[in-house]
Structure 1
């Protein structure tokens, strides 16, 4: 329904404007463009590799939790109430850790979002900049993206500017490479560079120091948060271990008392038997 509404609105705008002047329309196939940009493919492969590694870690932890659940279900009949509670508590902690990792990897501000922003977004921005540059130069009124939700019932290949976008990106890349070569050559030939003033040096040094201090602050906060979580986790483990040790000690004392009672009863029975034999004699 949404697609139909968008199409109707678009057709209405185009039809209304057509009476004033002829509209110049083009479209691009974003999927085709990105598949032909080497930097995008390389960035996507890097991202896919990281995602596969994260999912492998999550799957491994999930399987371990299922093993713990299965073991508990099989042994529940022969375990004491305390041991059952201990194992259930361990399973709960593992599940919470799994959810935390999943959020860390794939949350709204997780590692996948940050890596995609770092690797893929600059390339996508490069494509959009090329499209805008071509649209302004060719004076297009509309440039559609072929693979969006807006349905294209028919598209004439002559209005496809995808290859033009790719060639614009290639020219931009060559221009940047040429600039790098010129700068490198200038450095090699020791071309004099304008010296910075003392005020500029101080401002640059202060800006660098502020940026490093900010990064250190963010890093320290992350380390502090991780340390706090690890400390809480270790404290929970210690409490569980102490509870288990206390229960084992209590059970051992009960066993010892039971053995002593059994030995005392056995000795009493033997004494009574000897006394009876002595009376019979």
Structure 2
């Protein structure tokens, strides 16, 4: 399929050249090579990889917890009441729903990974595309291919590779932007007493909001632990009751013997 697309494209180029009676100017770039030599891209990729690793670890931890719940239920089902079985099954179902929700949140079509990649990587890709358009306009190229894309290149002559030109343009633009930023940066003025008080008030409100949020989380967690402790207490009572009944039955059986 890819070779077919390339042959069709080359046929169009030849046809266009014959019609216009002038050769088409063609160049290509290696996008992977360019991005690997842009420090901002490597930094962005490392940031993205770290986030993805953190999300996957969180999902793996939750998945393992669900498996533990399933194993516990299977081992204890024979001694649990119907209500306790339903409670444990409900807990497993809720955890499974949470796992699916997090998977979609992190790795869905419009999930956090997609948004973070767009936020981190797209501006750098835009730099490359802008540099390609600039070089193509200056050198009057009719077509610029990406060697690392899906369009298969059966042969490429190095003299048509403008990847280093693109890198140079990106570096030049970066230096210009840094110079502009340096010129526009002014020393910070000393805050007035009123501004300091306003900042202190804002910081205090933020601290209070954070403390309230942590207290709410602790309350929810304490309630969850209490509920689990109550379930465990009921299970223990049930086990003790069954053990007492078994002991009594064994005693009666022994007395009859």
TM-score with structure 1 setting the length: 0.65
Higher alpha-carbon Rg: 1
CA positional deviation for 1:82? 2.8
Q: For residues 144 and 73 of structure 1, what CA distance do their matches in structure 2 show? A: 59
Say which SS state the counterpart of residue 27 (structure 2) adopts.
Answer: strand
Equivalent in the alignment of 1:91: 92
How far 1:86 sits from its partner (Å)?
1.9
Q: 2:25 maps to what in 1? A: 24
Cα distance per residue 1:235-281 (max 9 Å; x no partner): xx99xx6xx88xx6xx99xx8xxx9xx9xxxxxxxxxxxxxxxxxxx
Cα distance in 2 for residues equivalent to 1:119 and 1:31 = 16
Could you list the per-position Cα deviations for residues 105-147 of structure 1 after superposition, in whole angstroms to 9, with x for gaps in the alignment? 1122221122112111111101110011101111111100011
- The reply on whether 1:153 has 2:154 as its aligned counterpart is yes
Name the residue aligned to 1:5.
4
Structural mapping, 1:1-281, within 5 Å: 1=1, 3-19=2-18, 20=20, 21-184=22-185, 187=186
Q: Scaled by the length of structure 2, what TM-score is found?
A: 0.71
Counterpart secondary structure, 1:152: coil
Q: CA RMSD in A?
A: 2.8
1:80 CA drift (Å): 3.1
Deviations 1:40-98 (A, max 9, x none): 11111111111111111011000111111122222233333332222111110000011
Gap regions ≥5 residues in structure 2 = 190-216, 249-257
Specify the SS of the correspondent of 1:105. Answer: helix
- How many residues in Structure 1 have an aligned counterpart in Structure 2? 202
Q: CA deviation at 1:166?
A: 0.2
CA distance in 2, matches of 1:12, 1:71: 67
Distance in 2, matches of 1:68 and 1:16, equals: 68
Take 2:75 and 2:26, find their aligned partners in 1: how far apart are those partners? 68
Structure 1: gaps (5+ residues): 191-229, 263-281
The SS at the match of 1:143 is: strand
SS in 1 for 2:52: helix
Question: Secondary structure in 2 aligned to 1:140?
Answer: coil
2:97, 2:182 → 1: CA distance? Answer: 53
CA deviation string 1:1-60 (max 9, x = no partner): 2x1331132122112112121011111000000000001111111111111111110110
C-alpha separation in 2, matches of 1:133 and 1:70: 62
**C-alpha distance in 2, partners of 1:7/1:121?**
27
For the residues of structure 2 that align with 1:149 and 1:178, how far apart are their CA atoms? 38
